[in-house]
Structure 1
Amino acid sequence: MIQVLIVEDDVRIAEINRRFLEKVPGFQVVGIATDGKQAREHLEVFEPDLVLLDLYFPDMNGLDLLSYIQSSYRRTDVIIITAAKEIETVREAIRGGVCDFIIKPVIFERFQEKMLQYHRYRSKLNALEESSGQVGQQEVDELLRGAVSSRGREGAGAYLPKGIDRLTMEKVSAFIREMEESVTAEEVGRRMGVSRSTARRYLEYFVSKGELEADLAYGTVGRPERVYRSRMREG
């Protein structure tokens, strides 16, 4: 689970962001800070993986907190969620090392897309750290696409097979990263709120990409059923 700290001075908006995040698999809100003092205290206590950061606060500039996070919490990433639209602010935030920048008002579909994109980036980064700890050009390209753009190879609808929707694909992708045991298409469909045939179509897509492995399970009655398990947990 990716541990998230929300830093937002408007309590109502902070609550909306929390509820949005709870709908996206793979994330957990560990705290909400409404001013600079709380933000620094929460950072010290939780050392979160990700901070969702507003830029406007009565007692601080969000860009100053961004700089503080980058210098003191090197493993904490930042996604800015703000009403600021000035190009210089956006440029300064990018130079400051943000993973992404979301303009208010926040629509859930856009929020979800950004979070799933970040989840893919973080998962790839963790997998590389746990393996050799080294990267080649392809891995660097994939990390950069995941970190700064929604136009990555998996995110570009033009490159997806017919019948594969990008948002649904991202949901299934996040789901399979959390898989700890083999599952059937029926189980996935029930847990994700889609039909069995839809679940199977996406599961087979990930089999073709090498992220899932499929086999046949023989029960006590009826025909054998195709089961899927994540190859990301092997070894």
Structure 2
Amino acid sequence: MINVLVVDDDVPVARINAAYVAKVPGFRVAALAYSATEALARLGESPVDLILLDHHLPDRNGLSVVRELRELGLHSDVIMVTAARDVATVQAAMRHGALQYLVKPFTYAGLRTKLEAYAALRHSFESGGEAEQAEVDRLFGALWATDGSELPKGHSTTTAELVRQALRDTGGPLSAQQVADGAGMSRQTAQRYLKLLERTGRVRLSLRYGETGRPEHQYTWADGS
């Protein structure tokens, strides 16, 4: 289970964000905080895996919180969740080690996409071992994996969601044909979306060897749960 601290000075927004987090399998809201001081106090009491951090807080900004976390030797990952849209703030967030940046207002689906990508990234790191260049590229791109608004040209949000649901509902692993049957689309279409999702770390690919000796590609949704 991935423990999350939700930090936002707007109490209703913090509660909504916490409710969103609680709906994503594999995630648990450990605490809420409404200021930088309260957030740091919570982390001092009990470190968490991930912080959903607003930038505009009443006592200090979110980036200063990230800086202090690192100075204190706390290694919680950070996803900025903020209305701050200026490029300077986005750049500073990247330089201070924020893994992702989600601009308000956003939907549950938008946050879920980021959290699932984060869970997939954690799973990849926990697997250990060595990484070839392709795997390194995938890991670096995992948290920037597509949500519906970021799909490459020629890809449909609706179709991607059907593939996701087919994998999540069954629990996998599934072949491309099984995904196609479950999602009500052609095998070629399912294969195209599965390859995209595998490249971005949303889907894990494995091989199953049958009697013919030719391996069959099997796909599992990489939610880390």
Equivalent position SS for 1:85: coil
Unmatched tracts of structure 2, length 5 or more? 175-180, 196-202, 211-217
In 2, are the aligned partners of 1:51 and 1:78 still within 8 Å (CA)?
yes
* Counterparts in 2 of 1:21 and 1:163: CA distance versus 1, 3 Å: closer
Q: 1:21 and 2:21 equivalent?
A: yes
Q: Which amino acid aligns with 1:54?
A: D
**Between Structure 1 and Structure 2, how many residues are aligned?**
198
User: 1:10 Cα shift?
Assistant: 0.9
Matches within 5 A, 1:45-64: 45-64=45-64
Structure-2 separation of matches of 1:2 and 1:212: 28
User: 1:174 Cα shift?
Assistant: 6.6
TM-score, structure 1 length as denominator?
0.67
In 2, are the aligned partners of 1:213 and 1:229 still within 8 Å (CA)?
no
What is the aligned partner in structure 2 of residue 225 from structure 1?
none
What is the aligned partner in structure 2 of residue 146 from structure 1?
142
Identity of aligned residues (%): 28
What is the aligned partner in structure 2 of residue 166 from structure 1?
160
TM-score, structure 2 length as denominator?
0.70
Structure-1 separation of matches of 2:47 and 2:77: 10
Structure-1 separation of matches of 2:49 and 2:66: 14
Deviations along 1:156-209, whole A, 9 cap, x unmatched?
56698x999334545666778xx7xx999xxxxxxxxxxx9349x98xx69x96
Q: Does 1 or 2 have the higher relative contact order (CA < 8 Å, sep 6+)?
A: 2
What is the aligned partner in structure 1 of residue 76 from structure 2?
76
Equivalent position SS for 1:116: helix
Matches within 5 A, 1:43-122: 43-122=43-122
Q: Which amino acid aligns with 2:83?
A: A
What is the aligned partner in structure 2 of residue 197 from structure 1?
182
Deviations along 1:116-150, whole A, 9 cap, x unmatched?
222221211122x3xx3x33322211110013x22
Structure-1 separation of matches of 2:207 and 2:2: 22
What is the aligned partner in structure 2 of residue 6 from structure 1?
6
* Counterparts in 2 of 1:74 and 1:212: CA distance versus 1, 3 Å: farther
Equivalent position SS for 2:91: helix
Structure-1 separation of matches of 2:109 and 2:57: 26
Structure-2 separation of matches of 1:111 and 1:213: 33
In 1, are the aligned partners of 2:151 and 2:157 still within 8 Å (CA)?
no
Equivalent position SS for 2:131: coil
* Counterparts in 2 of 1:46 and 1:212: CA distance versus 1, 3 Å: farther
* Counterparts in 2 of 1:10 and 1:44: CA distance versus 1, 3 Å: same
